[in-house]
Structures are given as C-alpha cells and as structure tokens.
Amino acid sequence: MKSLSTQVVIVGSGPSGLLLGALLHKAGVDHIIVERQSGDYVLGRIRAGVLEQGTTDLLDYVGVGARMHHEGLRHDAFALIFKGAFHRINISDRQGGKHMTVYGQTEVTKDLMDHRSKLGLQTIYEAGDSVAVHDFDTDHPRVTFNKDGESYEIKARFIAGCDGYHGVCRASVPAGSIQNFEKVYPFGWLGVLSDTPPVYHEVTYSNTERGFALSSLRSNTRSRYYIQCGMDEKVENWSDDRFWTEFKTRIDPDAAKRLVTGPSLEKSIAPLRSFVAEPMRFGSMFLAGDAAHIVPPTGAKGLNLAAGDVNVLSQAIVEYFQEQSVAGIDNYSSRCLRRVWNAERFSWWFTSLMHKFPDTEGFGQKIQEAELDYLVHSEAALQSITENYVGLAH
C-alpha cells in the first residue's frame, strides 16, 4: 500500500470540497482532495445557479470571482406569480443593497477546478467506490482507496466529508452517533435546460392550481425551467412540446405569449426532500454541504449552505493549526446547524407555500393564495422573505 500524508483530506470534489480546498490553501494548510468520479463527471452535474452575496464574497476571497462577475447576472429582485398575476419583489432596496448573482453551479465548479489546477494542488480523481474513511474517532484518521491497480492510504489530522448525500463519510458514522431528520415531499421537479432567452429577467416562482413552476436562467441566452410533477412521472413521457405546453399554463398570460421555446439540452426529474444530519462533527471528521443536509431547491439554499459550512470549517481548521485552539472545531457543528435549520425552515415554508399538495385542493389552494396576497402587500412580510431569500449571515 502506498502511503501519503497531509493535514486535511477532503473527500469529494464538488463545489464545497473545492472551495474548502481553496480556503485552506490560502491559509497555508496542506490538503489533498479525493474524488471517486472523474473530473468530467463532476462538471457534468446540472445544478442550481443562484448565489448569495456571502457565497460570491467567498469566491472573490479565494481569487476565482472574475468570470462570475463578467458572465454572471446580478439580481436585485425575484418574482412570484399567483392567480395569474406577476409580482416583482425587490431585494436590494429592502436589504441594504444586497443582491443575488445568477451563475451556474457547473461554472463555479469549473472556476474552482481551473484555479486548483493552476496552483498545482493535488486532486485524486476516479478513486471509485473503494474510498473509505478510518479511525476518525482518533487524532490520526485515514482515508484509503484503490486506483489503477494500486492501494493507497492518506494519513491526516482531519477528514472533511464533502462527498454529498450518498457519500461514504456520513454513511461510515455508527448509527448510534448520528441522528437524521428527513421530510420527503410527494412530488418532484421536471426540469428543462434550453438555449432560449429567459422569459423573465427575475427568478420567478409560480403557484397555480395545476402545480408549481419555476422560471430561472443561466445567461441572457440560456434558460432553466421547472414544473412540479408526480413522483411516478418518467422523463421519457415528456416530449419537449408537452413540457412547453404545460409550462405555459403555469406562468402569467403575457409571459406565455412571449415565451421562446426550443429543444431541451437536458431534461431530468429531481425528487424534493428536506434532510439534516446531527451532529456535523465526529471526532476528527466533519460533514459539510449535502453530506450533512439537503434542502428543497425552492429558494436556492443548497450551494449557499455548503459555502457557509466550508467557510466556518476552514476558519476552525486554520485556528487549530495556527493558534493550537480547538474552540472552532468544537463549535463547528452547533454554529453551522443554527444557520442550516434557519435555511431548512425557510425552504420548507417556501416550498409549502408555492406547491400543490394532495390536500391543497379547493380550500388549501385558496389559503395559499390568501397568504401570497398578504405577502406581496405587507411590508413586514416582504422584509422577512427578502431577508431569508438573500441569505442569513454565515
């Protein structure tokens, strides 16, 4: 077995693992990233692309923000549609100039990968399903894996589990040491990516009697649209024409007339769930991002929560190595979970407000519409939703 050593092993090379690596490198902390898939596979994942200002500030801090500022779209507002009417909600005016940036997660990942490559930092791809974590209840944890017919071991002081919901890190924690909280929603999102100009300039959420819809965008020429669908739906049953026909029924009439349709570049169905694992630290191993929590995509909190986690974690690890203090690592889980549960609450509330549930026929639909009407006409309610939408402090 070939043996390597470092200060931190990061398992997973998605945006949370890559951002953590960039933050640690900037502070002079040695680390290695281990990824079971190829780099191309990681880049091929289609994910959300609405970044909070705290996330963009972190990307600027590590030196990867240039393309985001050049190609990303600044958003000072989002919009709600209900009862066929469009309502624009300004964020910046209510939240001290804060704003969102529309920039695809794939692009964030690419920028972080390119930055890492230029710096010559070590990332081990295609480690496969052999990746395993060991001895994380001690001060000498290890990560092992097989690659190209060779067995490897990496010795470190800490392991950062940035390997997603289905990753090995959380799965390796003994059942008695972790508590999982989960809500599975009775529907999914059917999403289409197309090279068509966006129908709205704002990310727009629709509540209709036929179900929810989301109008999002990646650029001025590329759009991402979603409709709520049943869990038993199959992608192959949805032609592009069928999707566009249904989507038009879930936006306001003026937008439906000007909607530009086109062939889908990608089409998929994503289930929705709320999930939190507590705690987020197990001895010398820490969970971050989707390894520790999942939010429904309503409100776009997933990537932003991951960025918040690795920001807190990097500070704790740097404090440990530079100041020989354990305060940060001891408080990592509690500090993150307070923010995580606030985001879980908002995402659950927003999902519950905008979607059609089995019990929202008739009376339930009218209650949703009444709450939305109150929301768009109450300054107190608008202050609350914009505060949560733009992102609570990391």
Contact 28, 116 (CB under 8 A): no
Q: Which position among 301, 355, 356, 394 bears the catalytic label? A: 301
**Which H or E run contains 207?**
strand 203-207
Instruction: Report the pLDDT averaged over residues 211-236.
Output: 93
| Residue 314 phi, psi (nearest 5) | -60, -40
Express each pLDDT in 367-387 by its tens digit: 999 999 999 999 999 999 999
pLDDT of 3 reads 92
Q: Is 168 helix (H, G, I), strand (E, B) or coil?
A: helix
Quote the CA–CA distance of 45 and 27 in Å, as a whole number: 29
Domain boundaries, the chain: 2-75+97-182+273-350, 186-271+356-390
Contact 64, 42 (CB under 8 A): no
Does the annotation count 389 as an active-site position? yes
Contact 209, 365 (CB under 8 A): yes
Please choose, from the candidates 15, 96, 14, 5, the residue with its C-alpha nearest in 3D space to the C-alpha of residue 51: 15
What fold, for 186-271+356-390? D-Amino Acid Oxidase; Chain A, domain 2 (3.30.9)
Please choose, from the candidates 271, 312, 318, the residue with its C-alpha nearest in 3D space to the C-alpha of residue 294: 271
Q: Which position among 185, 200, 225, 389 bears the catalytic label? A: 389
Q: Which position among 31, 75, 267, 356 bears the catalytic label? A: 75
The total of other beta-carbon atoms located within 10 Å of residue 334's CB is 12
* Residues contacting residue 128 through CB under 8 Å, at least 6 positions apart: 36, 145, 146, 147
Does the annotation count 301 as an active-site position? yes
Express each pLDDT in 51-101 by its tens digit: 999 999 999 999 999 999 999 999 999 999 999 999 999 999 999 999 999
Quote the CA–CA distance of 225 and 189 in Å, as a whole number: 10
**Helix 379-390 / helix 327-354 crossing angle, nearest 10 deg:** 130
Q: Which position among 103, 152, 185, 205 bears the catalytic label? A: 205
Q: Which position among 141, 198, 296, 297 bears the catalytic label? A: 297
pLDDT of 305 reads 96
Does the annotation count 75 as an active-site position? yes
Quote the CA–CA distance of 193 and 181 in Å, as a whole number: 32
pLDDT beyond 70 at 393? no
pTM for this predicted structure: 0.93
Express each pLDDT in 282-330 by its tens digit: 999 999 999 999 999 998 899 999 999 999 999 999 999 999 999 999 9
Express each pLDDT in 240-282 by its tens digit: 999 999 999 999 999 999 999 999 999 999 999 999 999 999 9
What number of CA atoms fall less than 13 Å from residue 184's CA on the CB side?
Answer: 6
Express each pLDDT in 31-53 by its tens digit: 999 999 998 888 877 666 889 99
Calculate Rg over the CA atoms of the chain.
Answer: 21
Residues of the chain above pLDDT 90, percent: 87
Omega of the bond leading into 174 within 30 degrees of 0 (cis): no
Token duo for residue 206:
């629709």
CATH architecture for residues 2-75+97-182+273-350: 3-Layer(bba) Sandwich (3.50)
Q: Give the angle subtended at the CA of 312 by the CAs of 157 and 8, to the nearest 5°.
A: 20
* Residues contacting residue 262 through CB under 8 Å, at least 6 positions apart: 194, 195, 196, 240
Token duo for residue 189:
């999102």
- The amino acid occupying position 37 is Q
